[in-house]
């Protein structure tokens, strides 16, 4: 399955989520290809830190900031992998658009903040365009860096705001703001393998993985 973690807005935790999802699938025994569609190459850097640290399983990771190249490579090499996770965006780019053309599922992480909710309309426009040139793109919005606690008003309001953007289905498996995600991703790890174990982070990520795959 090809999953694009994308948003035209930056700073929503795309790369952290992409790295976590890719490793989670690899730990589940799948052949995973993580594609970094960002010129900054943060995902690529995280995976090289993972490789230098000798953590198993290793993750195949490639960086294609150019949309045409990304599309060509996935069309040629994609069959060799069980799951492909594409980290794309931060802005409207050829890489993000290529990922939207290729992906089975688009996951749009967003924070329970006004700017993030407003930005959903931008990526929704691209989803419309992508759907006009292809069939079967499923698009989910998922809360990332959500406020702690089950009863957060901002989380609930942000989740409800997704209903105003019909392009997306709201995925009720939020990831909350936890240092465990950032610390693990910085070391090229997922929260599933990082020590000390953050049980809540593990459960959240597992719930998201189960909902997606």
Partner 1 sequence: MAIVKPKGKVAAADAFISGAPDAAPAAKAAKGVMLGHKRQITLTIAPELLARVDELAAQIGQSRAAVINLAIRQAVERGLTIEGLGRVG
Judged by beta carbon, residue 31 or residue 128, the one nearer partner 1 is: 128
Residues that bind partner 1 (rule: CB under 8 A) add up to a total of 17
Instruction: Give the shortest CB-134-to-partner 1 separation in angstroms.
Output: 6
Nearer to partner 1, 101 or 207 (CB): 101
Return d(Cα 49, Cα 80) in angstroms, integer.
24
The Cα–Cα gap between 43 and 4 comes to 13
Smaller CB distance to partner 1: residue 80 or 134? 134
User: How many angstroms separate the CA atoms of 183 and 154, rounded?
Assistant: 25
* Residue nearer to partner 1 on the CB measure, 104 or 154: 104
Q: Least distance in Å: CB of 10 to partner 1?
A: 14
Burial class (CB within 10 angstroms; exposed 0-12, middle 13-18, buried 19+) of 62: middle
Residues 6 or more apart whose CB falls under 8 angstroms from that of 124 comprise 165, 167, 168
Regarding 119 and contact with partner 1 (CB under 8 A), the answer is no
Nearer residue to partner 1 within complex by CB, 93 or 144: 93
Binding letters toward partner 1, positions 66-105, x by CB under 8 A: -xx--x-------------------xxxx-xxx-xx----
Q: Quote the distance between the C-alpha of residue 181 and its chain's center.
A: 13
Q: Where are the alpha helices (DSSP H) in the chain?
A: 14-27, 42-52, 67-77, 94-102, 114-133, 153-161, 179-186, 199-212
184 binds partner 1 (CB under 8 A): no
Q: Using CB under 8 A, which of 28, 115, 118, 133 touches partner 1?
A: 133
Find the shortest distance in angstroms from Cβ 200 to partner 1: 38
CB of 74 to partner 1, least distance (A): 12
Q: Cα-Cα-Cα-Cα dihedral of 24, 77, 74, 63, to 10°? A: 70
Site for partner 1 contains 20 (CB under 8 A): no
Quick check: helix, strand or coil at residue 91?
Answer: coil
In the complex with partner 1, which residue's Cβ is closer, 20 or 167? 167
Neighbouring C-beta atoms of residue 151, cutoff 10 Å: 7
Sole window of 11-19, 116-124, 126-134, 155-163 interacting with partner 1 (rule: CB under 8 A): 126-134
In angstroms, the CA 53 to CA 64 distance is 24
Residues that bind partner 1 (CB under 8 A): 67-68, 71, 91-94, 96-98, 100-101, 129-130, 132-134
């Amino acid at each position: 399955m090809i999953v694009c973690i994308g948003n035209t807005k930056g700073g929503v935790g795309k790369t952290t989520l992409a790295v976590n999802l890719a490793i989670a699938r690899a730990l589940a025994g799948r052949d995973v290809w993580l594609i970094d569609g960002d010129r900054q190459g943060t995902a690529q850097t995280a995976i090289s830190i993972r490789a230098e640290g000798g953590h198993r399983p290793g993750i195949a990771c490639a960086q294609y900031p150019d949309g045409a190249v990304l599309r060509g490579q996935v069309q040629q090499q994609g069959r060799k992998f069980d799951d492909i996770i594409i980290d794309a965006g931060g802005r409207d780019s050829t890489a993000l658009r290529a990922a939207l053309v290729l992906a089975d599922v688009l996951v749009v992480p967003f924070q329970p903040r006004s700017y993030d909710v407003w930005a959903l309309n931008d990526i929704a426009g691209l989803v419309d365009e992508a759907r006009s040139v292809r069939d079967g793109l499923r698009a989910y919005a998922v809360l990332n860096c959500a406020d702690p606690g089950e009863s957060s008003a901002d989380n609930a309001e942000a989740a409800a705001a997704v209903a105003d953007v019909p392009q997306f289905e709201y995925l009720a498996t939020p990831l909350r703001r936890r240092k465990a995600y950032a610390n693990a991703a910085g070391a090229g790890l997922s929260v599933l393998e990082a020590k000390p174990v953050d049980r809540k982070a593990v459960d959240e990520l597992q719930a998201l993985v189960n909902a997606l795959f």
